[in-house]
Amino acid sequence: MKRAVLAAWLAAALAGCSSGPEPKSPAAPPQSDQQAPPPSPPPAISAPDPRTGFTQIVVGSEDSVGAIPGSARARYAYRFKQIEPGSDRFTFQDRDLSFYFRPTPTALRFQVENRQSRPVWIDWDRSSWSGPNGTEKIAHATTRWSDRYGTQSPTQIVGLQRYSDYMFPIGSLVDPGASGQQLHRVLFPEDQTAVQYVDQAFGVDLVFHIEDRYVSYPFRFKVASVVPR
């Protein structure tokens, strides 16, 4: 009896010794609190600013009331001079009409006053623009792309009244597509190329129908200086 018990105990002890501990699963890699940053996007390439340079295109011409004509973000500023008829104030008058001009890089602005009691007319088809590209028709506030090869209605100025407008060469008009806007190139650039236009002359020959005659009023201007803003 004792031998049987001893044999059973010995068998159990041998079985326990032969079975080792259960293998542990491999430890998971340590987790980091910081994640890898995403890849950096490629550097952006700056496109040329379409509002600068001689190819600048504008809609109409806003009236500039600042001391220096030109856009607020221009890199260079222009100073103009009236050379025909000579005037430090950009003015001229006779018994019929009184003129005031304000040249800007965008367009030539002007105001004319009828000094008499009868009406007068600006004949746009007889008037012309003079510049480095020669002589061509004048575009003004109501001129559109479709008027390039047509006729423009004369503008009436009634007696003792004033009329304000702006002008530029009709060849500067740009096709606006389906819109009815007046798109045109500026007269002078306001970027680093502006210094090339010092002493450049331009002007208009405005023809008025006064009573039974046509009277031409020639005006010439030039770029007196260009300075950085």
Give pLDDT tens digits for 102-155. Answer: 999 999 999 999 999 999 999 999 999 999 999 999 999 999 999 999 999 999
Domain borders along the chain are 57-228
Confidence of residue 8 (pLDDT cuts 50, 70, 90): very low
Residue 194, pLDDT > 50, answer yes
3-state SS record for 128-144:
EEEECCEEECEEECCCC
Q: Which secondary-structure segment (H or E) carries 5?
A: helix 2-18
Question: In the prediction, which pLDDT does 92 show?
Answer: 98
Q: What pTM value is reported for the model?
A: 0.75
Average pLDDT rounded to a whole number, residues 144-167: 97
DSSP state of 59: E
Contact status, residue 225 vs residue 139, Cβ threshold 8 Å: no
Question: In the prediction, which pLDDT does 40 show?
Answer: 41
Question: In the prediction, which pLDDT does 217 show?
Answer: 98
Question: In the prediction, which pLDDT does 190 show?
Answer: 93
Question: In the prediction, which pLDDT does 55 show?
Answer: 67
